[in-house]
Structures are given as C-alpha cells and as structure tokens.
Structure 1
Amino acid sequence: MSNIDNIGWYPGHMAKAKRYIQANMSLVDMVIELRDCRIPESSKNPNIQKVIGEKPKLIVLNKSSLADKTTTDKWISCLKEEHTNTVAVDCKSLQGFNTLIDLIPQMMSEKLEYFQRKGMYGRNLRAMVVGVTNVGKSTFFNTMSRTKKAKTENKPGLTRTTQWIKTPYGVELLDTPGLLWEKLENKHIAINLALTGAIRDEVIDILEISWVLCEKLRDKYPELLAERYKLTDISGVGHEIFETIARKRGFLISGGGIDEERCATMLLEEFRSGKIGRISLETPEEIL
C-alpha cells in the first residue's frame, strides 16, 4: 500500500475550518463529535479534541446501520467506561435518533438549570458539530432540523460553509466543514478512512485499496464475502480474491483480462452502501 502511506491531504478549507472552530468555541455550550460507526477510532481526529478543550462532548457514531451491531455495542461500552457520552445513530433510518434527542438534555442538565435560574427562558442549547469528512454531517443536520437545507452526497469535504441550524429539540447546531489530519502517517487509519470514503478516491489507488478490502472481508466477514460474490474459495490474497470477483461479475476486457477500475469501483461502492452487509473495520480489542 505504498500510496496509502503518509497521505497528505489538507485543503485550504480545512485549515480555515480549524481556525473557525477555535474562534467560535466560546459561543457554544457543548460539542457533538460525529464519527463513522464502522471506524470509531480511525474517524476520531485528535486535532478536534485539542480544540474542544473542556467543553462537554457527545460522541455520535453515525451510519450505524452499516456497522456490525455487536461491534458497535462493544465500542459504546468501551467509550462509556471512559466516561464519554456516546450514542449510535443512523440518520437515514432514524435508528437511535430518539436516544440521541433524550441524551442531550440529560448530559446538559446543569446548563439548563443555570438558564432557568438566570431567567433565560427559551434559551436553546448551542452545540458545535464537528467530525472528519464524509462522516454524514449534512444528513445529521437535515435530520435534526427536519429540513433538507444541507446538501448531501457521499463525497468527502462537500459541506464547506458554516451556519447555525435551528432544531425543534431545544438545541441550535453550528455547522463546520469536515476536518482531516494535516498528514496521515498512521497506515491503519489512512486505509480505514480511504475505505469509508473520508479520503477522496482521486488521491488514492482504488485498485490497491480494493485488494485491502478483499483481505479485510476475508479475515473479518468471510461468510458475507462468499455469499455476496458467490465465492467458494476465499483463501487467496487480496488481488486473487479481487480477480475472482471481477470474473464472476463479468468485468472482462479484450484479451481475457479484467476491468480492474470497474471492479474496484464496484467493490468500494457496495461496501460503503452496505450491500455486502453490516461491516465494522475495527474493534476495541484491536485498538485499545
């Protein structure tokens, strides 16, 4: 995975977003950090925690319907042991959404009592929403506001502007563009971010990352891999499994070769959309 090592992708809008977060942290009562439920550790940007400081934080593991539920439950238990408020949600299916809405006033009860003592009736909580790119922030905003104001698409870095978004749940949300690291030096994190689409496909080798996906599925979810692509033997290395899938799907070119780009694009799309099944790429046992 030579081109996955030391990925450098830090567009100007990300540096601007970091400065904006720092400058406006004093305006909010709490921070909602969105992470990808399939990669709760890899989608945690350490730069975000440095900026947040001591603000109350709620971790929202988004896209939970795409992740292995057993693994998600382990992550929630692990994070709660660290005294971190955590909830798994899927904003498209609304799975876990009511739990999220109930948890916000519970964890901010002291602040709400302060508002009452000061006669600040009608004062909503204010929360800054942060997260890495392509973690589903736009869909989160739309779900919370019950509108479709934020443009959504499965591409990283789409939400570029900052804005306050009102909700009917007693909290106003401050939108911020997604953030990535200045430089991704951890190979494990870089691969997971690439697989889930947080890093644009244009700056990685989608063929190599597809081989890695095949090996991860072979090791973690062999039944799902075999069932989805009608495979009888998945004992090979990544590129061998990849070639077998390409031939099974009829992705052939003249001369008997395979259409590598077409197969790689298909594999990544089917993983990211959940067509292969509910898959988590990392567990607490592997990380902690």
Structure 2
Amino acid sequence: MSSQIQWFPGHMARARRQVQEALKLVDVAIELLDARIPVSSGNPLINQILGQKPRLVVLNKSDLADPALTKLWLKALERPGVKVIALDTLKGEGLKEVPRAAAALVAEQMAKLAARGRRPRAIRCLVLGIPNVGKSSFINRLVGRKAAKTGDLPGVTKGQQWIRVQGSLELLDTPGILWPKFEDPQVGYKLAITGAIKEQVFDIYEVAVRLLGWLASHYPDRLKERYRLSELPQNIPDLLAAIGARRGLLVAGGTVDVHKAAQLLLKEFREGLLGRYTLDMPPFDR
C-alpha cells in the first residue's frame, strides 16, 4: 500500500533548486521536523543540499509527540554543527531557544567578521522542511505577527520570502520539499498519517487501518477510553467499523460509513485527541 504513496509536485523540484541557490546567502539552516516522526519527516535530499552548513533542527509539534521519546530524539540528533530543540508552535514553548541556538551555531563566524571590522548584523537563516511540518506557523510565532501564509494543507507556501525578526534574525521561508521516491514504504505511511501528504494521493481507509492496528497493539486502553468500547475487536477493519458505529457514522440501512470513520480516526490522531504518540523510535532503549 504505502509503497505506492508518492507525491512530488513540479513546484518542489523548483524549490530544491531555490534552496541550493539561497544557501549562499544564509548563515544557518533551520530544518523543521515533525516530532512524531523525526526520521520520516527528514528529507534525505536536505542532507545532501545543506552539506556542512550550520543547522538548527527544530522538532516541531512536540505537544503531539511522546515527551519521553522526544527527549531521546533531542540527544540522538545532536552532533557537531547541529543543534536540536523541541518546539510547540501553538503555545510557543521552546521558541526563545531559536535565536540563542542560531547565535551559538555562528558565534565563531560572527567573531571573525567583527575582528575584521565588520558591523554586527542579523543572523540570516533559511527555514526549510517537508510540507505541513509547520514552517509558516513557526515563522509567524517567531516574528510575532502574521508574516507568512499558514494553512492546514501541505503545500501552502509556493515561493520564497525574507522576513525580519526584530534585532537578531532574518528568515528566508521556502516551500516544503518532499523527495521523488520514498525508499521505505513505512515512510510514506507515516507521512500520510501525520498529514504531510495530500489525501487525494493515498487510500485513507487503508492508512487508517494501519494506524488503528498500531494503536490497538500498543495503546488498546486509550482506544477503549476514547471511543467507549468495552472490548476491541481482534479484526482491525471490524474495530474501525465499531468506532464509526459509536460515533454514529452510518449510511442508509444502518451500515457504518467506514470512509468517514477512517477520516475521523486520522483527524483525531493528528489533533492529539487520541494521545501523544511518536511513530519513529529513537536509536536508544526506552
């Protein structure tokens, strides 16, 4: 199923070229990842494009991820030239760390410029990541005003724009970039679950069944509580139908509308109503 989930619109190929050109103008690359899927939401092309450019990795949507696993991911992703912070864009938690982390990454570079008599200037940052990872909301929060377009659907930002953060940073927003082919079928599945891929290009029912199977295996009690089920059917399609029935998602004749049930499950997962989950496991023991 998920091996067939592929989405690489033409504007993303252009975006890749734009990012490569913009790198010459910036000091730091700020890469946003989804804290629920830090590996699956990391574009392998970005590693190639950025090379040795100082990088600030932001684990966005940390309010939706398992907090214990997020702490492990913060350690796992940190390395020379790369700083990592967790961020809840909606509440702004972790936002103050962004300018400090960016400054630390380029402290040596800025000191050299000052030694040559150059006047202090704002740190120039390139903001990038896959679609719907929250780049525009991140920028708006950082700037303190509605500076970039926002939306619930992937692919809202189509062009580049510079945005000034008072006193310390200048941000260059870019369109979200996916990559031409997901080598690991699980990556496509996880991106579909978290909303990075347009629903028109994958089978919503099949993705919901996969998610529900994972939840039933790892967190059965949460499903029982959320959907008021005394027991969970062993058959996952039957479980999805039971959830639809509990929510009154019926069509003529009293049959459950499983497509609507699938949409409901994905929506509630994405909004954190089922709990806080991380689908990518860090390379540490829990």
Preserved CA contact (<8 Å) 1:7 1:185: no
What is the alpha-carbon distance in structure 2 between the residues aligned to residue 104 and residue 19 of structure 1? 24
Question: Is 1:72 aligned to 2:70, yes or no?
Answer: yes
Moved over 6 A (4+): none
Alpha-carbon distance in structure 2 between the residues aligned to 1:101 and 1:224: 38
Query: 203, 224, 227: which one pairs with 2:225?
Result: 227
TM superposition shift of 1:23:
1.5
- TM-superposed deviation, 1:273: 1.0
**1:101-250 alignment to 2 at 5 Å?**
101-168=99-166, 170-234=168-232, 236-250=234-248
- Determine whether 1:256 maps to 2:254: yes
How many angstroms does 1:232 deviate by?
A: 2.2
Residues 103-137 of structure 1: CA distance to partner in whole angstroms, max 9, x if unpaired? 22122211221232233324111111110111000
Residue aligned with 1:284, SS: coil
Deviations 1:33-83 (Å, cap 9, x if unpaired)? Answer: 100000000001000110111101111000111111011011111112677
Q: Secondary structure at the match of 1:103?
A: helix
Q: Give the Cα–Cα distance (whole angstroms) in 2 for the partners of residues 226 and 108 of structure 1.
A: 50
| Equivalent residues of 1:115, 1:123 under 8 A apart | no
Where in structure 1 are there 5+ consecutive unaligned residues? none
- Distance change in 2, residues 1:201/1:273 (3 Å): same
Provide the aligned length of Structure 1 versus Structure 2.
Answer: 285
Aligned match of 2:16 = 18
Q: Please say which of residues 217-226 and 265-274 is displaced more in the overlay.
A: 217-226
Residue 265 of structure 1 and its aligned partner are, at CA, apart by 1.4
Displacement of 1:280: 1.2
Q: Counterpart amino acid of 2:141?
A: T
SS at match of 2:96: helix
State the partner residue of 1:99. 97
Report how far residue 285 of structure 1 moved.
Answer: 4.0
Change (3 A) 1:271 1:185: same
- Residue 6 of structure 1 contacts residue 183 of structure 1 at CA under 8 Å; is this kept in 2? no
Contact 1:33 1:58 in 2 (8 A): yes
TM-superposed CA distance for 1:84, in Å, is 3.4
When normalised by structure 2's length, the TM-score is: 0.94
Superimposed CA distance per residue, residues 224-249 of structure 1 (whole angstroms, 9 cap, x where no aligned partner): 22211112223524212211101111
Aligned to 2:276: 278
Structure 2 counterpart of 1:247, which letter?
A: A
Letter in structure 1 aligned against 2:139: F
User: In 2, Cα distance between the equivalents of 1:237 and 1:200?
Assistant: 28
| Percent identity over paired residues | 40
The CA deviation at 1:102 is 2.1
- 2:158–2:175 Cα contact (<8 Å) kept: yes
Aligned to 1:268, the other structure's residue is in SS state helix
Q: 2:41 is matched by which residue type in structure 1?
A: S
Maintained 8 Å contact 1:132/1:179: yes
SS for the counterpart of 2:78 is helix
Q: Which residue of the partner structure matches residue 7 of structure 2?
A: 9
| SS of equivalent to 1:185 | coil
Contact in 1 for aligned 2:28/2:102 (Cα 8 Å): no
User: How far does residue 154 in structure 1 lie from its aligned partner after superposition?
Assistant: 1.3
Q: Give 1:87 deviation, angstroms.
A: 0.5
Q: Which amino acid aligns with 2:218?
A: K
Instruction: Decide whether the 8 Å contact of 2:32 with 2:60 is kept in 1.
Output: yes
Whether the 8 Å CA contact 2:55–2:105 is kept in 1: the answer is: no
Match for 2:91: what amino acid? S
What does residue 30 of structure 2 align with?
32
* Unaligned ranges ≥5, structure 2: none
CA–CA separation in structure 2 for the residues paired with 1:20 and 1:49: 15
Cα 1:96/1:223, change in 2 over 3 Å: farther
The alignment yields a C-alpha RMSD, in angstroms, of 1.8
Structure 1 residues 144-153 or 79-88, which shifts more? 79-88
* Whole-angstrom CA distance in 2 between matches of 1:285 and 1:215: 23
